[in-house]
Amino acid sequence: MRRVVTAGVTAASLLSIWTLLLAGAACASSSQEQPPPTPQALAEVWERERRPLPPPPLVTHQIVESEVARLVQDSTGLVRSEIAGRSVEGRAIHHLTIGRGPTPVLLWSQMHGDEPTATSALLDICQWLLTHQHEPVAARLLDSLTLHVVPMLNPDGAERFQRRNAQGIDINRDALHLQTPEGQVLKALRDRFAPVVGFNLHNQNWRTSVGTPPRPAVVSLLAVAYDEARSEDARRHLTKRVSSVIVGALEPFVAGQIGRYDDAFEERAFGDNITRWGTGVVLIETGAWPGPDPDRMLVKLNFVALITALDAIATGAVDRADPAVYERLPENDNLLLHTIVRGATVLAGTRVPPFRADVGIAGTRGVRQTPGGRRLQWQASIQEIGDLRVYGALETIDGAGLFVSAVYSPATVGQEVVVPDGGGAATGAAGRAASAGPTVTLGAPARLWLLRAGSLPGRYRIERVIEIR
Ligand SMILES: [Zn+2]
């Protein structure tokens, strides 16, 4: 029953907020007349002005704390901060308040400790508001909205670069029991400010794909459902429109690579329950980006998406967005590998005779503690062997006419090497013994040679060393 009442109040408050915004626009203030910033212009601003932080997986709680302190100090009152609560291990969960407008918006990131992209984007957005506060777009945002920003909800998980908190609980399945202090903080902020919209900011698995042929789902969006029937009301209309605005902001960069996240209702999740409690939630899941510096593009896209969405809420332009733009997005799929070697002859190293197959490598990026500090590290292995035509990859290597084997020695490109090429029956103890060395088998390390036939049988010249680490 309480749900129905809450929903009614929210719908009414949404209407009144837009009436208010429209009234503001009727006064023809110059900042409201300024057209929205173009995605390209925002991307350029980000390139010029982003905070000089390490890649998001290496941004620690300590860095977030010093960024928060700096923002508060530099802003002379524009950015306020409080410690909204503490993690299981006592780390401060910071809540920043920016803006003086009538419409509260809540943004939280890194509820999952190993999903850090949006934390950096939120810090960049705070800095952007601070730097440009006297210019029309930032000014109208600050006049219309009050942003409540939690840049790292799960600092214990972030410290370990793991999904769950220090209790081993997935905070995003704790919305009903509220056994995690981090979840309690989020619930308390929601109840205290009754935001009109919440942005729930995550990273999705790098195997997430979209479209045919599969490409990286660079960003996936969800206008979160609040019941099993996936009903529509003012909250969900709004979050669908916000999602459509985000699609428009990202398409210049990643057309065809924006996915729609599964909208099944998850009764334990925060997004679903926060929507039930009265605040429509937009879930943004950042996915994979190919190339040596994926974080740069991924943070930039978050920055562009969020500022564009906030501006559309601030001006009321979100009201004119077409929800069908979001609804038409292709659904997420799970068909992306990191690397595929297509069509090579596999020298498996298991006494299996050579055979033609595609070899697919998948993995995740992790963080390793070393004596020199935290370092990014891939955990990648061979995950698929066979006809992989239905899969996509961040990198596809044409293996036609070539051979692929495990790496047997520190040899380099151009060298000729001896590679066991099977030929015998892979049975019995001999087969098992042969498997003790490096192999091209499921689960084997992502270290491969791409080879060309050499001067003698059993000898091969190294064309390329494939190693993901
Ligand atoms: Zn997540």
Structure confidence by residue, pLDDT tens digits, 369-395: 899 889 999 999 999 999 999 999 999
The CATH class of the 2-327 domain is: alpha beta
**Over residues 29-36, mean pLDDT:** 76
Residue 367's pLDDT band (boundaries 50, 70, 90)? very high
Distance 202 CA to ligand 1 centre (A): 5
Average the pLDDT over each of 5-9, 25-29, 186-190, 447-451 and give the range with the smallest value. 5-9
Confidence check: pLDDT of 16 > 50: no
Give the model's pLDDT for residue 423: 56
CA 153–ligand 1 middle distance (angstroms):
11
- Residue 367 bridge partners (DSSP): 376
- Token pair in block for residue 209: 């794909």
Q: Residue 427 has what pLDDT?
A: 46
The predicted model scores a pTM of 0.91
| 438-459 per-position pLDDT tens digit | 999 999 999 999 999 999 999 9
pLDDT-derived band at 80, boundaries 50, 70, 90: very high
Give CATH for domain 336-467: 2.30.40.10
Distance 112 CA to ligand 1 centre (A): 5
Q: What is the mean pLDDT of residues 48-74?
A: 98
| Of the candidate ranges 17-26, 59-68, 197-206, 334-343, the one whose mean pLDDT is the lowest | 17-26
| Residue 402 CA, ligand 1 centroid: distance in Å | 40
Q: What is the mean pLDDT of residues 189-203?
A: 98
Q: Residue 83: CB partners within 8 Å, gap ≥ 6?
A: 92, 93, 94, 95
- pLDDT above 70 for 321: yes
| Dist. CA 284 → ligand 1 center (Å) | 9
**Predicted confidence band of residue 421 (pLDDT cuts 50, 70, 90):** confident
Distance from the alpha carbon of residue 208 to the mean position of ligand 1, in angstroms = 13
Sketch the domain layout of the chain as residue ranges.
Answer: 2-327, 336-467
**pLDDT above 60 (res 2):** no
Over residues 37-52, mean pLDDT: 98
Q: Which residue has the tokens 């509220």?
A: 178
103 and 140 Cβ atoms separated by less than 8 Å? no
Q: Which pLDDT score is estimated for 198?
A: 98
CA of 76 to the centre of ligand 1 (A): 34
User: Average pLDDT, stretch 283-295?
Assistant: 95
- C-beta pairs of 15-19 under 8 Å, 24+ apart in sequence: 15/234, 17/102, 17/103, 17/196, 18/316, 18/319
Residue 180 near residue 81, CB atoms below 8 Å: no
As a whole-number percent, the residues of the chain with pLDDT over 70 amount to: 90
Tell me, in angstroms, the distance from the centre of ligand 1 to residue 460's CA. 45
pLDDT of 274 strictly over 60: yes
Q: Give distance in angstroms: CA of 132 to centre of ligand 1.
A: 31
Phi then psi for residue 435, to 5 deg, are -75, -10
Q: What is the mean pLDDT of the chain?
A: 92
Q: pLDDT tens digit string along 151-177? A: 999 999 999 999 999 999 999 999 999
Q: Are 235 and 273 in contact (CB under 8 A)?
A: no
Distance 193 CA to ligand 1 centre (A): 23
pLDDT of residue 140: 98
Measured in Å, residue 204 CA sits from the centre of ligand 1 at: 6
pLDDT tens digit sequence for 248-272: 999 999 999 999 999 999 999 999 9
- Which residue reads 């109208």 in tokens? 140
pLDDT at 388 (0 to 100):
98
pLDDT score of 23: 43
How sure is the predictor about 313, in pLDDT bands with cuts at 50, 70 and 90? very high
Contacts of 446 (CB under 8 A, 6+ apart): 338, 339, 361, 363, 378, 380, 381, 382, 466, 467, 468, 469
Burial of 301 (0-12, 13-18, 19+ CB in 10 A): buried
Q: What is the DSSP string of 262-330?
A: -----TT-HHHHHHHHT-EEEEEEE----SS-HHHHHHHHHHHHHHHHHHHHHHSGGGGS-HHHHHTSP
In this prediction, residue 256 carries a pLDDT of 96
Average pLDDT over residues 403-407: 97
Indicate if the pLDDT at residue 431 is higher than 50. Answer: no
Query: How far does residue 286's CA lie from ligand 1's centre (Å)?
Result: 9
The more confidently predicted of residues 118 and 31 is 118
In this structure, are residues 257 and 217 in contact, taking their beta carbons and an 8 Å threshold? Answer: yes
